[in-house]
Amino acid sequence: MKTAVCIKQVVTREWPLRVNDGKTWIRDADATFELNEPDAYALEEALRLKEKHGGEVVVCSAGPARAAQVLREALARGADRAVHVESDALATADAAAVAEALAAALRDEKVDLVLTGLQSDDQGLGQTGVILAEKLGMPHATIIMEVQASESGLRVKRELEGGWFQWIALPLPALLTIQSGINQLRYATLKGIMAAKKKEIRKVTPAAPAEPPQRIAALYVPEKGKKTQIISGSPADAARELIVRLRDEARVL
């Protein structure tokens, strides 16, 4: 089974976020970066499927030159080779633009399975995998908690709301978006780090981007403030009004 895993480099969670001067993105020139956590679980699931069924794991990332860091990390954890769609514009691109770039890079790979994380830690749109499946013409399933693969296809467990789960079957090739916590992550060993230096990272130049379907108008840090409201009336009326406000405005009931 040939599996492609789409991964993203994001700012580390401990880094203090600051908006840039244009208020269009964060000021990340001096930031530290890491592998997007949900994508790490997707990579781990791909490596486990390879251990059970054989095949190859190819990691793919769309982003600036610095994204090679997470590709090397994925290779050190056990991926066989990598594809880097290198473009500075993709660092802040929306899900549609990123999916288009990934799809162009993966079409010639002829993979059996594509795995992505459920969503990214920065934008959190949760749509890149879904749009990528449409562009590749693959059936897809989201929020996957378990994967069972066979020659006839896949049987996967989806997480639904309210603690419910759903089992569905898909033919191959297919795309799955993986939920965090599906497995126990492995870490790169010294042997893996040394081996990663000899593994291939194929660079791909994306086509000229089309007009993005959406853009960020402005980013800002949430403003904090205090506001006191006086609820008048009898104790019974005040209690009823308080319950309404806690339920409808504060949404804590």
Confidence of residue 210 (pLDDT cuts 50, 70, 90): low
Most confident of 86-95, 176-185, 216-225, 229-238: 176-185
User: Which residues are CB-contacts of 127 (< 8 A; sequence separation ≥ 6)?
Assistant: 95, 96, 99
Q: Going from the N-terminus, what domains does the chain have, and what CATH number goes with each?
A: 2-204 (3.40.50.620)
pTM for the predicted model, two decimal places = 0.83
Work out the pLDDT band at 59, boundaries 50, 70, 90. Answer: very high
Which residues, 6 or more positions from 123, have their beta carbon under 8 angstroms from its beta carbon?
A: 94, 95
So what's the pLDDT on residue 170? 95
pLDDT tens figures, 177-189: 999 999 999 989 9
* Residue 11 · residue 18 · CB < 8 Å: no
Beta strand 140-150 pairing with 153-159: antiparallel
Alpha carbon 188 to its chain's center: 20
pLDDT of residue 250: 80
**Residue range 61-67: mean pLDDT, rounded:** 94
Count of CB atoms situated within 10 Å of the CB of 41: 22
